[in-house]
Structure 1
Amino acid sequence: MALTNDLSPRAARTRAALIAAGFDLLAEKPIDAIPIDEVVATAGVAKGSFFNHFADKQAFASAIASEVRIELESQVARANAGVTYPVARIAGGMLVGALFAIDNPKRTTVLLRSHGNSTARSHPLNKGLVDDFEAACAQGLLRHEARDSGVLYWLGLCQILMSNLVERKLDRSAADHRIAEMIILGLTGLGIDYSEAATLAARLSSVRPR
């Protein structure tokens, strides 16, 4: 498939219409329940146009998820700018993901439904988290299991927390409590001392925008 930057203006508009339609549809149901005919009808484009941009529905869903992941990872990078302690960076990423879910429930639903939210260490969008885990392990901060499975463990916790926050629509106090508990549970599971985990969770909560 051609890169987005290489598309003609007309092709770029078609792709944008398909992506916009995908966001609307994936917010309501999973990709397996969405016929391509429904996608192109919602986008207002010819059916053949779909296959000019995407190999199949899974590639389509992955492209949509990547847009959300890029947006989310950019927010994590900004939040972690200047933070050198890898454990704080790991916890900060969970906080950003949780706040993203609260503020952007539709985009979060699309991300979690799209099958494009890869948990592979080699996935480019996981590089920042992988680097933080490698740094923490190199410093002896985490239990030895985290060297191979820590990224998978943390991504799983983040995804289920984001899903829960979208589903439950908790008020501010309850959401803060849930996020803090998940950070503490997650960090202690990695081998961080409870008091440090609790202190870090409280510190992150204190800098959350009010």
Structure 2
Amino acid sequence: MSSGRAKKKPTKSEPRSRAESSAETREALIRAGIELFASEGLDAPSLDAICARAGKTRGAFYVHFPDRDAFLAAVMERVGLPFLDVVLGSDDTPPTLTTVVQRFLVAVASGEYPLTAKDGVRPHQLLDACARSEPVRARYVALIESSIARLAAIVARGQDEKTLRDDVRPEDAAAILLAAVVGAQTLMELRASVDLGPAAAAMLAMLRRHPGPQE
């Protein structure tokens, strides 16, 4: 006996749009690049190996990236920008300079810092890639300049709050801080016996504002 209810016909899942499929392909290729560059270095993985890891074809690769250098630059940005967001925070929740330095030291100690992670890309490999490729160099410089600008804003905020000395331009202080980071990368790659914690504390002490006798 019929219950009177119409049976629902099974519905097929909606096919992904072309844009969604394209985004998934690009993401798979970048993930494959991150994994292979970290484990094998920047030069060793071939395009065939990258495409095989991603489960995509060479044709799909060239739809998204004109060449290997453009791909490497995209991978660099994907790794670098999220890390910078973690360390430097956002405009909604701006950190103090002390917090930024502490986050950097924690990232280094935990292996989360991209250029000092175990079995990851080494600083000299990145510099070699920059020397060979203008697109890679330009993308790396863009990340550096963005970092300096964001650090300068943090320093300026500290000066406004009278926690940092105001006789140094924020942009100059930010450039010195970033130069110290690049130097720290080199020291760590050389396995030099330098304790970054006290060195970072000394740099913060030099930038910290000390009230004068009239305050």
Which TM bucket (shorter chain)? 0.5 to 0.7
User: Counting helix residues as a fraction of each chain, which structure ranks higher?
Assistant: 1
Structural mapping, 1:36-185, within 5 Å:
36-76=47-87, 77=89, 81=93, 83=95, 89-105=96-112, 107-108=114-115, 109-110=120-121, 113=126, 116-118=139-141, 122-123=145-146, 126-135=148-157, 141=165, 144=168, 147-161=170-184, 178-185=195-202
Q: What is the one-letter code of the residue matched to 1:8?
A: A
CA, structure 1 residues 93+55, in 2 after alignment: closer, same or farther (shift >3 Å)?
farther
* CA distance in 2: counterparts of 1:128 and 1:163, whole angstroms: 23
CA, structure 1 residues 45+82, in 2 after alignment: closer, same or farther (shift >3 Å)?
closer
For residues 85-112 of structure 1, the C-alpha deviation after alignment (integer angstroms, 9 at most, x for no partner) is xxxx223222212222333448444595
Give ranges in structure 1 of 5+ residues lacking alignment: 1-5, 84-88, 169-173, 197-210
* CA distance in 2: counterparts of 1:59 and 1:103, whole angstroms: 30
1:97 and 1:162 in contact (8 A); partners too: no
Identity %: 18
Alpha-carbon deviation of 1:71? 2.2
* CA distance in 2: counterparts of 1:64 and 1:17, whole angstroms: 11
* CA distance in 2: counterparts of 1:95 and 1:136, whole angstroms: 16
2:98 and 2:204 in contact (8 A); partners too: yes
Output the TM-score relative to the length of structure 2.
0.59
SS of residue matched to 1:183: helix
Give ranges in structure 2 of 5+ residues lacking alignment: 1-16, 130-135
Question: How many correspondences in the alignment?
Answer: 175
1:18 paired with 2:41, answer no
Q: Which structure has the bigger radius of gyration?
A: 2
For residues 127-186 of structure 1, the C-alpha deviation after alignment (integer angstroms, 9 at most, x for no partner) is 421212344567671554x55543232123224436766886xxxxx9xx9332231343
For residues 4-52 of structure 1, the C-alpha deviation after alignment (integer angstroms, 9 at most, x for no partner) is xx96232222212211111112213443444333322332321122222
